[in-house]
Amino acid sequence: MKTQSTQQTQHTQQPQPSSRSLPPSASHPPLRDLRVLDLATLFAGPLAATMLGDFGADVIKVEHPGRPDPSRGHGPAKDGVGLWWKLLGRNKRTITLDLSAPGGRDTLLKLAVTADVVIENFRPGTLERWGLGWDELSRANPRLVLTRVTGFGQFGPYSHRPCFGTLAEAMSGFAAVTGEPDGPPTLPPFGLADSIAALATSYAVLTALAARAATGRGQVVDMAIIEPILTVLGPQPLWYDQLGYVQPRLGNRSRNNAPRNTYRTADGCWVAVSTSAQSVAERVLRLVGRADLVDEPWFASGTGRAEHCDELDAAVGGWIARRPRSEVLAAFEKAEAAIAPVYDVRDVVDDPQYRALDTVTEVDDPELGPIRMQNVLFRLSETPGAIRWAGRPHGADTDAVLTELGMSPDDITALRTQGAL
């Protein structure tokens, strides 16, 4: 990890934090001595780096001089500024390097000497072709953790195939169990597999750093995007192995409990009901006037209730359909039964619970002014994370970061002349 003097130098070069998003107690974030080189694009690797930056890591985003991270152009933009990048690029300093150019390769190796973690998502063999594989990086810095995030992992028959999260959502079994029973397999309209892989990658990085604290040596993290989403799908492989059971598409229902569905209220809104706990299932049926069903032998287990989902849905859905959403929510809350309104993003930003948690927080951005985005992922009572700044322009910090490496203005100009910057 970096020395204190290096850390102080870096802080003088970094953009000023947002006063709205930085808590007074965040002066000593837990990852403040960590330096991460983010070489990855779209989306798992960069999001993992964002999560580390949220808790103080000095994240240096390395982008190609002529091909910025594609997330800068994904989704809606305002005044020509990509909004997705403002979220994904927050708490990162941005530099440009052409890693395939000799000057770019040499500069990356110099940066790697100062770093704790490198996160990349090139196809296997690409870094090696540029002379930046594990052998070269670990020789330059034996304590380095090289984190390799790819669709299929570093080996195996598919390892060299191009892959995006969509393919992981298909191959993991997620799409096969999502959607209505008589409809097609359904993909999510957002980066689900990438986001799950990002969470897993940040966990893997911190695990590797904990190992380094004991051994003094870095190592390679091999993260395949097809694997974390399979993990969160639950015991499906175990069910198939032991019972030959293949989970079908059930829409909003579950094979594990009922009633569990979305229901439309009298005023045209939607609510979601879950009864994973037996006591909650009993409260729901008593609330809707069907206490007689609670006494049925099959009602005593989640599996038994799931086998009678049509009857239970008719009872619960019929009761909800005759009442406006406000009345339904109030009745369920009074009965201590589990229910939630089905929100879109407009509801999320106005919800009092989200507001109390500051889940969607405001950040001062030099390009766009005050902007709102999701806050850091969790709260720590003593060393909280913070959004210090939103995503910065392409290459905005190149000169500052290279100057920290001891490069002179002439050195930097020479790299630009070579096309490495």
Cα 404 to Cα 418: distance, rounded to the nearest angstrom: 20
- Which alpha helices (H) appear in 150-191, and where do they start and end? 165-171, 174-177
How far, in Å, are 262, 266, 292, 370 from residue 347 at the CA level? 17, 19, 36, 20
Beta bridge partners of 60: 37, 93
First to last CA, the chain: 26
Locus of tokens 């964002």: 50
Choosing from 194, 313, 365, 397, the catalytic residue is 194
Helix axes 278-287, 309-321, angle to 10 degrees: 50
Q: For residue 15, what are its two tokens?
A: 């953009």
Cα 235 to Cα 340: distance, rounded to the nearest angstrom: 26
Cα 284 to Cα 275: distance, rounded to the nearest angstrom: 8
Cα 192 to Cα 233: distance, rounded to the nearest angstrom: 12
Q: Has 194 been annotated as catalytic?
A: yes
From the CB of residue 241, how many other CB atoms can be counted at a distance below 10 Å? 10
Nearest to 363, CA basis, from 96, 9, 15? 15
Beta bridge partners of 94: 61
Q: Tell me which residues are annotated as active site.
A: 194
